[in-house]
Structure 1
Amino acid sequence: MTETQKTAVVTGASSGIGAATARRLADEGYHVFLAARRADRIEALAAEIGGTAVVTDVTDAASVAALAEKVGPALDVLVNNAGGAFGSTPVAEADSDEWKRMYDVNVVGTMQVTRALLPALVASGAGAIVNVGSTAGRVSYEGGAGYNAAKHGVRALTGALRLELFDQPVRVMEIAPGMVHTEEFSLVRFEGDQAKADAVYAGVPDPLVAEDIADAIGWMVTRPAHVNIDELVIRPRAQAAQHKVHRVATD
């Protein structure tokens, strides 16, 4: 990292959208701090892109403080990508622990990382925050109440933060992806059930992939410093709405 090189932090950088975003920002010339819990993955990616791996649990305040210490006094970009969905049971059968986990990582984790790195973002003179939300944070659906609530929380946090920082040199943005086919998201949600995970995308021609979201994030943060992309909702062409998805026969 050179003295004049811009810096970025990407949470949840060990796979999927986070890893793709880290690669994209490195291509844009940023020195990327890759924050995630799986050391082996982020160390390999850091070696690939010339970044810095920082083992981080966004739900642990001490771990987040250590990340801020590693980043230093100034930071140009923060991508709050760490999150996830756990389970898909209706409210009548909901698992309280799953709901707490979703709120903790999606909302509290985003808050803790932002709080810890905000002084460095302000100090850069032109900081940018991108929170990775979801279309699930705009439209509720059966079996998604816990994730819906968590991602609605991310949207509310983003809006409030933008108001709070209106006179500061920091842009506050949210990207809300629809159907993105990544290696782990649905597999985690369905506790390793590959058949259920595959069924989510069965027959959908060309769902989004992680690189599509990374490409959009790269565009958002590289706009001029006076341009704030408040919200960017991004879906595959096949998904007209949360419940309106074109599927083709797969036999």
Structure 2
Amino acid sequence: MLVYPAIDIKDGKCVRLTQGKKDEETIYFEKPEDVAQQWESKGAKILHVVDLDGAFDGVSKNLPVIKKIVDAVNIPIQVGGGIRSLASIKGLLDVGVSKVILGTKALQDKEMLKEAVNLYKDKIVVSIDAHNGFVAVDGWVKTSEVSAVEFAKEVQEIGVKTIVYTDIARDGMMKGPNFESIAHLKKQVDIDIIASGGVSCPEDLTKLKEIDVAGAIVGKALYEGKVDLEKLEVI
């Protein structure tokens, strides 16, 4: 299981939000590329970057910042947040991003998702952000009527190889992931699942490894010192 340190970008800075709420923000680093180098130096094998401005506004404004992160490290980077077009996907891949995560657009435009998968194969990851079992969209501001499990099955049929599954209620709360819903989803689909939201301690990562997910995204617990990358055995 890979551990993905999360770098959330808002207004060009590295921040963390609580439950994705725009007005509950903590700024951790002025320069996201600095923290990228820090996580790499502590043993990270890959990074998870989210363009929060893109997620909320539907337009990515942080491509120059993302390029700085790519140039600053020697490990792969996956990026999500506000990616709504094939041109945006190409732009990210062209600056050296390894994988691109589609969220709202994947749900709303299946034809575009199919085209992206045909063009870029396993470089396309789909983010499934669940609120009470249903998929949330537009930076988690709205909840759809599509269940997370059904959507996961749909994207698997389309050819997506990896999903990022987030339980919004757990995100940034440091209360542990929703192990039950993650395990349930794992039984329903046959694709890689990267679990996100709620990791608060190394024991949470051990439990996720036992569920046999492909990866786990860790944000606040890293920034608050609750998880030490250098001491983890699971990365």
| TM-score, normalised by the number of residues in structure 1 | 0.36
Structure of higher CA gyration radius: 1
Structure having the higher helix fraction is: 1
Query: Which structure has greater strand proportion?
Result: 2
